Structure 1
């Protein structure tokens, strides 16, 4: 039996349907199948853990959105240096994530460069994926500069890859004239500042959170998990409660970076637990909805990371007994799916004020777009069309950018940095990040020392 479209359709294809750019679902998928990416890696990939994090993250994100394929050139057989992958061979790890090893770059595909790769500027766009300290982003290769690519902050190379995927998508989609012509990035130490300027106050990580509760194991929750695995935890250094009630559907493969076709139908919590436990973390499962009935017990993690798109669940975040909550959310419609926001609770406003349960959420009406009329002509009933129209547009790279802001908020507070109550922006214009500073407070919850 074929799954209904609202749980099987590629969430990025919905962008082209909801914006009216295509006439059919098949045309939307064909458009995605014309999107490809070449990743060129330099010799640093053999010795740099950060470069490998950047490569694995970019392959993972790109294969879900650029359906023509992701090809890697310059990758010699080399051992894996990061816990993100369990394989011993990096080439094998890349292949398992959906990348293809190639001998040369295609002339008609955009190129992402990791490391010191000498290349002529191709006809297509080319970006250098770069990071330094807590800052990361991409720079057009033709601009001729890059950062030091050091490893002070292990989330930086993952962030750089997410920014790269965002720029490549905008280039392919043709919906931002500056894609491929500009440097784009952000600072995780000082969000909203100029990410290209050196900041001597950025510290090396000394402390990491050791007990957390993850609410939601979809796009954002899986991105949290991926980023936590980038951090230098000692053995047994992190315990996680994973809460979700849902199962993995085909549409999750297009947005959620721990999902693949082999795990569809399984509980999201169990997939998360399997992946995290294989990397040395301890997990406990809570397989029911989060809401006003949820109550944390005294011996359970006091800090929660929320990544759900349900207003009723969000409104209850401050009533579950957590001492500190970090919440992130993503935009939904064709005009806002690149948007992200992070909120911290307690904060200037209560969660119930931001997401009042008495307020109905109005989503853009896209049912009149040609692709939906075509589905109706093919016999899809009104209920099926309404369910499909209500689903959000989704891309994995926006979720990962939002997740880096949440995890880095924890890390800043643990390592002497500023606290933020709100951070909001769009991957289309990272230079316009909006922030609201919080009251400086000591992080007084469970933590451990970072492994050396």
Structure 2
């Protein structure tokens, strides 16, 4: 089943999978591309991430309107025309904007936007934020950094989803933002723009290519690599299933039944990355051999694999975990190793034992109607998930790898709640204790005027 629409079953709003899908097919969103959006890698990453993630969440459709006559320069879509990519990623290019659609604006705000939900997606260096539209603040973008573009897109799609679901009365009427240079900064997060992006990881090992792993790969493929691009080792053993289409940013319906590692490898090789594949489970027997990447990004959802990281001997490991229920699926926790505790101390052995699934009245009724208690128990046990949360987590994870290349530190742990970024805690930044991640020089950033920040008290 669609992993986000499943929340309607879990909350009791829908009494069948079909009714849940029908409800989500009422949700629509518009992306307006204003002047200047395509001038930077951050702007292109913001648009592409907003398009990809909203198409997998708003099943009624994603309308794209505005300045569409551009060719893209980010590695994953280099040389492709915007209109072609819109269709490929599940959107619809509109010559005339529909009325009363929730709108995400990237670039300059249109004259007289619809009086309903309309927010700007913005970035400046390592800072990413969204804010209610204001016609006197035409410049919503600053120094180029695609990590911030990805984060801004994820925040914007999340805000629009909160709005259509009616989950949060303030959605669309607040400023939400953070600095990836200092993700724990609260009231003063705008002060941590950070340095220009000069260095990018040269070698990485990605373990797990589902929801999170593909978000990592997507974000890497938005970064301003020159003709020399990273060497990536991709590790996974699973095949793409239909439910993965709702969570995995690099999968399409034509990929069903194929091994995820091969699908992702094909996309990244076409974008110029050097790829090696490992088609087996990650285990305690793993060893990093000379010439292999010593920095790993972990995107798995089981405790057993995380505990095995003790023996892997990577110089730097960054992993993320997400909430799984309809109340907490927006929650994100990241870890960096080496840290004050080993992975086996963070995740105890008894935590790997799965609790029994207790069926709600909705699932009990479905099991009786369909004479399928096993199937409904399996469905009830599956996590609620959506790629706009995965994309935001990916921006946090990649920041932990790229920040030390620019003189910054890493955080042993971070906790974020996308619904309200006021709820974030974590370990203070500390110098990375291991060997540095090998790096390549980034393409020289395109300079734009720094944005004019409006002073709003309700900023997060």
**Common topology (TM > 0.5):** yes
Provide the residue aligned with 2:373 in structure 1. 382
Partner of 2:46: 54
Report the CA distance between 1:174 and its aligned residue: 1.2
In structure 2, stretches of 5+ residues that fail to align are 445-460
| Cross-structure match for 2:301 | 309
Query: What secondary structure is seen at the aligned counterpart in 2 of 1:257?
Result: coil
Out of 328, 339, 351, which is 1:336 matched to? Answer: 328
Partners of 1:59 and 1:322 in 2: CA distance:
34
Kindly provide the CA deviation profile for residues 300-352 of structure 1, in whole angstroms up to 9, marking residues without a partner as x. 11111001001100111121121211011110011111100110111122211
Match of 2:213 among 221, 224, 238: 221
Question: Is it true that 1:124 corresponds to 2:123 in the alignment?
Answer: no
- Conservation of the 8 A alpha-carbon contact between 1:44 and 1:115: yes
8 Å CA contact 2:74, 2:224 repeated in 1 = no
Check 1:200–1:401 CA distance in 2 against 1; reply closer, same or farther (3 A cut): closer
- Per the TM alignment, residue 293 of structure 1 is displaced from its structure 2 partner at its CA by 2.7
CA separation in 1, counterparts of 2:111 and 2:358?
A: 44
CA 362–21 in structure 1, closer or farther in 2 if over 3 Å, else same: farther
SS at match of 2:413: strand
Give yes or no for the alignment of 1:111 onto 2:95: no
Confirm whether residue 441 of structure 1 aligns to residue 440 of structure 2.
no
Q: How many angstroms does 1:55 deviate by?
A: 1.3
Q: Out of 256, 276, 297, which is 2:289 matched to?
A: 297
SS in structure 1 at match of 2:13 = coil
Q: Counterpart of 1:399 in 2: which secondary structure? A: helix
Q: Separation in 2 of the partners of 1:51 and 1:150?
A: 10
Per-residue CA deviation, residues 331-379 of structure 1 (Å, 9 max, x unaligned), is 0011111100110111122211222222355568452231x23421332
Q: Which residue of 1 aligns with 2:403?
A: 412
**What whole-Å deviation, never above 9, does each CA across 1:110-138 have from its counterpart, x for those lacking one?**
01111112232524311111111101121
Q: Is the 8 A contact 1:41 1:114 kept in 2?
A: yes
Rounded Cα–Cα distance in structure 2 between residues aligned with 1:375 and 1:200: 51
Change in Cα spacing, 1:40 to 1:242, as seen in structure 2 (3 Å) is: same
Name whichever of 57-66 and 413-422 sits farther off. 413-422
Q: Residues of 1 paired with 2:381 and 2:129: CA distance?
A: 33
- Of 27-36 and 150-159, deviating more is 150-159
Higher alpha-carbon deviation: 209-218 or 37-46:
37-46
User: Match of 2:283, SS?
Assistant: coil
Structure 1's 284 and 448: CA in aligned 2 closer, same or farther, altered over 3 A? same
Which residue matches 2:443? 451
User: For 2:332, what is the secondary structure of its paired residue?
Assistant: strand
Shift of 1:52: 2.1
Tell me whether 1:394 sits opposite 2:385 in the alignment: yes
TM-score (structure 2 length as normaliser): 0.91
Provide Cα deviations, 1:199-242, integer angstroms capped at 9, x if missing partner.
36610122211111100001111111111112122323311110
Match of 1:317, SS?
Answer: helix
Aligned-partner Cα distance in 2 for 1:317–1:56: 33
Confirm whether residue 354 of structure 1 aligns to residue 352 of structure 2.
Answer: no
Matched, 1:135 2:122: no
Q: Deviations over 1:383-402 (max 9, x none)?
A: 21221111111011111111
Per the normalisation by structure 1, the TM-score is 0.93
Aligned residue number for residue 35 of structure 2:
43
Range moving further from structure 2, 346-355 or 278-287:
346-355
1:155 equivalent in alignment to 2:133: no
Match of 1:79 among 55, 68, 71: 71
How far apart are 1:419 and its partner, in Å? 1.9
Matching of residue 167 in structure 1 with residue 159 in structure 2: yes
Cα deviations by residue, 1:182-212 (Å, 9 ceiling, x for unpaired): 1112110110214775436610122211111
Let me know the Cα RMSD of the aligned residues: 2.0
User: Any unmatched runs of 5+ in structure 1?
Assistant: 1-8
Alpha-carbon deviation of 1:295?
2.5
Aligned mate of 2:229, from 231, 237, 240: 237
Query: Which residue is 1:6 aligned to?
Result: none
Among 253, 267, 270, the alignment partner of 1:261 is 253
Preserved contact between residue 128 and residue 146 of structure 1 (Cα < 8 Å) = no
Aligned-partner Cα distance in 1 for 2:371–2:383: 19
